């Protein structure tokens, strides 16, 4: 007898393709493919993680209590309504598992983060993609996709890979016009990079409504991607659901300890934010100077469009950059095959990226 088939829908999932980290033959590698922190991790977080190695035999504290306390203190939130996960990825999966089943659907925007669709399909639910305008989520188009079987609307704000964001007023309008029994999940993985006065990561809405969840991560500005650490701020009833279905020790001890230390080093976060602001300006200016179109970015990455010309198309440039040690992200999976996404990295990587593009696109 052979193994039975997986549940319907599972084999329709296209596996998530992480940013590559290999560039065979290149002398020096600049990995600008996964939106990792440009400044590494806080020295305090690294020291705390190393020290945690002395207690590898002990199970972690199951509810990540100390980390939730620290998050509450840092962001002015109620620790009882925070749930931590092995990356915000795990929380997106758990939210799906808690609220979706066969026959249900989710709505996300056309070029929104792909993990939502994967998480939905893993539960037998159908992902629906609402068209965007100017590579920006469109609230009206998202609302139009909602029907009686919609259970969750996912939105990344700012969005990866487009780099665009919706002001608080638009997120609120989306919430107001959705049925009360549809959960709105605001994925604010890049919230710390935002300076815009009309932006809110979503915590206020979580506190005002019973049907909004905000997810956050330590993988980006905090520089702890390797540890897999994220958190969700939830209405009490949603936190209860997540706490029932998560693994009892879903966040490792090292991640919890490093997370607390990372939160204590807000100077590091500020340096990373300032670096990103400066280097984003530099990159956008240079790209513009080379006549390349890009989506103005609010995150730590830029989506760049390449011409439909042999040798200069996104695929060609991707291969050319890689041969020369600069790894960026291909966008075919996001329905944006003419684009590449480049992470705003350390100065050296950003300059190498521009120098390589100059050889192909310089107009003088
Ligand atoms: C990087 C990213 C995350 C973070 O995922 P982790 O699992 O926390 O590493 C979540 N959402 C979006 C949109 C991202 O780009």
Residue 14 sits in a domain whose CATH number is 3.90.1150.10
Peptide bond before 158: cis, by omega within 30 degrees of 0?
Answer: yes
**Rounded to the nearest whole angstrom, what is the distance from the C-alpha of residue 225 to the centroid of ligand 1?**
9
Residue 60 sits in the same domain as residue 208: yes
259 lines ligand 1 (CB under 6 A): no
Mean pLDDT for the chain overall: 96
pLDDT > 80? residue 354: yes
Residue 99 sits in the same domain as residue 71: yes
Please tell me the number of Cα atoms within 13 Å of 187 on its side-chain side.
28
Residue 30 lies in a domain: yes
Residue 234 lies in a domain: yes
Round to whole Å and give the CA distance between 99 and 151.
Answer: 7
Residue 260 sits in the same domain as residue 139: yes
Q: Which of 265, 297, 327 is the last residue of a domain?
A: 265
Count of domains in the chain?
A: 2
113 lines ligand 1 (CB under 6 A): yes
Residue 121 sits in the same domain as residue 193: yes
Round to whole Å and give the CA distance between 305 and 131.
Answer: 19
**Rounded to the nearest whole angstrom, what is the distance from the C-alpha of residue 311 to the centroid of ligand 1?**
32
**Rounded to the nearest whole angstrom, what is the distance from the C-alpha of residue 187 to the centroid of ligand 1?**
8
Residue 274 sits in the same domain as residue 223: no
Whole-angstrom CA distances from 188 to 14, 109, 124, 155, 157 are: 24, 15, 25, 9, 5
Residue 1 lies in a domain: no
**Rounded to the nearest whole angstrom, what is the distance from the C-alpha of residue 90 to the centroid of ligand 1?**
10
pLDDT band (50, 70, 90) for residue 21 = confident
SS (H, E, C) 69-97: HHHHHHHCCCHHHEEEECHHHHHHHHHHH
- Look at ligand 1, atom 10, and give the residue with the nearest C-alpha: 189
Residue 132 sits in the same domain as residue 281: no
Residue 83 sits in the same domain as residue 163: yes
Q: Which of 16, 71, 89, 155 to mutate to test the pocket of ligand 1 (most atoms within 8 A of CB)?
A: 89
217 lines ligand 1 (CB under 6 A): yes
Nearest to 152 by CA among 124, 179, 189: 179
193 within 8 A of 270, measured Cβ to Cβ: no
Q: Which of 248, 265, 282 is the last residue of a domain?
A: 265
CATH number of the domain to which 156 belongs: 3.40.640.10
Question: How many C-beta atoms lie closer than 10 Å to residue 247's C-beta?
Answer: 11
Q: Which of 221, 241, 265 is the last residue of a domain?
A: 265
pTM summary value = 0.96
Q: Write the pLDDT tens digit of every residue in 202-243.
A: 999 999 999 999 999 999 999 999 999 999 999 999 999 999
Range of the domain at 170: 43-265
pLDDT band (50, 70, 90) for residue 24 = confident
Residue 117 sits in the same domain as residue 218: yes
């Amino acid at each position: 007898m052979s193994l039975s088939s997986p549940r319907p829908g599972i084999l329709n999932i296209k596996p998530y393709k992480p940013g590559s980290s290999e560039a065979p033959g290149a002398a020096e590698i600049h990995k600008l493919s996964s939106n990792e922190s440009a400044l590494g991790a806080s020295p305090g977080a690294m020291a705390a993680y190393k020290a945690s190695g002395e207690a590898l035999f002990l199970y972690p504290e199951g509810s990540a209590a100390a980390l939730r306390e620290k998050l509450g203190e840092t962001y002015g939130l109620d620790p009882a309504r925070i749930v931590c996960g092995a990356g915000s990825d795990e929380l997106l999966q758990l939210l799906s598992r808690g609220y979706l089943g066969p026959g249900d659907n989710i709505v996300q925007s056309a070029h929104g983060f792909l993990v939502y669709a994967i998480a939905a399909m893993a539960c037998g639910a159908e992902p629906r993609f609402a068209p965007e305008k100017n590579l920006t989520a469109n609230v009206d188009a998202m609302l139009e996709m909602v029907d009686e079987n919609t259970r969750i609307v996912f939105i990344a704000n700012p969005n990866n890979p487009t780099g665009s964001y919706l002001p608080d007023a638009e997120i609120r309008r989306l919430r107001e016009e959705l049925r009360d029994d549809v959960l709105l999940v605001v994925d604010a993985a890049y919230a710390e990079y935002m300076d815009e006065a009309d932006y809110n990561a979503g915590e206020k809405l979580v506190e005002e409504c019973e049907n909004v969840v905000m997810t956050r991560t330590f993988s980006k500005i905090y520089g702890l991607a390797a540890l897999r650490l994220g958190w969700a701020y939830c209405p009490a009833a949603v936190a209860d659901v997540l706490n029932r279905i998560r693994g009892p020790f879903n966040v490792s001890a090292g991640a919890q300890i490093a997370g607390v230390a990372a939160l204590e080093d807000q100077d590091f976060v500020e340096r990373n934010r300032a670096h990103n602001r400066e280097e984003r300006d530099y990159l956008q200016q240079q790209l513009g100077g080379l006549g390349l179109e890009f989506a103005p970015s609010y995150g730590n990455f830029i989506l760049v469009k390449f011409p439909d010309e042999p040798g200069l198309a996104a695929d060609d440039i991707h291969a050319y950059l890689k041969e020369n040690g600069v790894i960026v992200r291909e966008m075919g999976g996001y329905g944006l095959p003419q684009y590449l996404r480049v992470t705003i990295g350390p100065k050296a990587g950003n300059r190498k990226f521009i120098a390589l593009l100059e050889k192909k696109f310089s107009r003088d």
